[in-house]
Amino acid sequence: MMNTTLKNRSKALGGTAAVLGLLTVTACGGGSSVEAYCDVWEDGQEQFEQFESADMENFDEVLTDVESMLDDAVDAAPDDIESQTANMRDAISAINDLDIDFSDPEAMMDPEAMEELEQLEQEFETIESDSAAVEEYVEENCENVDLS
């Protein structure tokens, strides 16, 4: 039973990580411009560092912070990177909308929650390429931002 519990929780967390993990590799504010976009990412590096080190007790709060930062990034994004940034934000927003208590192991084993996470993976199937595009854009245009 314990093995099944751990396996189910790992699967649920893995589904979340598949969407979120791709976002952490990608981290410039005011107006749509390269400079404004880079400013949002520079200011938002702390949120991504917190996300990488978040324990399950404060995971929901960190997700909310990352979503807010990505919302600012979408507002500041130049046209050539706006849709990819918006997709990243939308993926985090969709996870927040699931209303899963990530600190509760039983909630993570709930078959409905696991199914919802799997649906998100399918819905945001381009998240990996979107994240890579944003990471590349930031690396090429934002000298004060280190997403590694």
Given a cut of 80, is residue 1 above it in pLDDT? no
Residue with tokens 């093995």: 3
Q: Determine, yes or no, domain membership for 48.
A: yes
The contacts of residue 93 (CB under 8 Å, 6+ apart) are 67
Q: How far apart are CA 42 and CA 29, in angstroms?
A: 9
User: What's the domain count of the chain?
Assistant: 1
Residue 44: per-residue pLDDT: 86
Q: Determine, yes or no, domain membership for 47.
A: yes
Q: How far apart are CA 51 and CA 20, in angstroms?
A: 9
pTM > 0.85: yes or no: no
Q: Which of 15-19, 42-46, 134-138 is predicted least confidently?
A: 15-19
Residue with tokens 């985090």: 92
Given a cut of 50, is residue 70 above it in pLDDT? yes
Q: Determine, yes or no, domain membership for 66.
A: yes
Q: Which domain holds residue 80?
A: 27-141
Q: Determine, yes or no, domain membership for 43.
A: yes
Q: Determine, yes or no, domain membership for 21.
A: no
Q: Determine, yes or no, domain membership for 3.
A: no
